[in-house]
């Protein structure tokens, strides 16, 4: 009975194995020309060029690029770039940005 309870408990844990870490080329393909919606109501539009717009009550224009296998963004007037690992959800409808501290922000594609 104890073994059965463990199996049931493990089945309830989300399967992170379905998420695939993206390489640089896949990161660019995952965001370029796309729109993501986040849980807090923010929309992020990624231009095919290097521009990105965060839209949450007001719009903020930033720049994005791929460095190695990571998505990186800068939001003027700040000059610093923040870089994130990117994973794709197993369903193909979402991607997650993983910060160096391990925190994650997941966006759902508005259109793909």
Q: Which domain holds residue 23?
A: 17-111
Residue 60 CA to residue 43 CA, distance in Å, equals 11
10, part of any domain: no
User: How far is Cα of residue 77 from the mean position of the Cα atoms in its chain?
Assistant: 23
41, part of any domain: yes
68, part of any domain: yes
Average pLDDT over residues 56-62: 91
3, part of any domain: no
11, part of any domain: no
Domain of 72: which CATH number?
2.40.128
Q: What percentage of residues in the chain have a pLDDT greater than 90?
A: 72
Residues 94 and 19: beta-carbon distance below 8 Å: no
Residue 47 CA to residue 15 CA, distance in Å, equals 31
1, part of any domain: no
pLDDT at 7 over 50: no
Count of the separate structural domains present in the chain: 1
Residue 112 CA to residue 96 CA, distance in Å, equals 15
The pLDDT score that the predictor gives to residue 112 is 65
């Amino acid at each position: 009975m104890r073994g059965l309870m463990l199996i049931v408990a493990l089945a309830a844990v989300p399967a992170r194995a379905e998420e695939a870490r993206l390489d640089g080329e896949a990161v660019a393909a995952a965001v370029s020309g796309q729109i993501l919606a986040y849980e807090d109501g923010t929309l992020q539009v990624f231009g095919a060029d290097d521009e990105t717009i965060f839209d949450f009550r007001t719009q903020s224009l930033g720049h994005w690029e791929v460095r190695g296998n990571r998505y990186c963004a800068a939001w003027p007037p700040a000059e610093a770039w923040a870089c994130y690992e990117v994973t794709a959800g197993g369903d193909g409808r979402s991607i997650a940005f993983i910060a160096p501290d391990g925190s994650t922000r997941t966006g759902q594609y508005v259109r793909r």
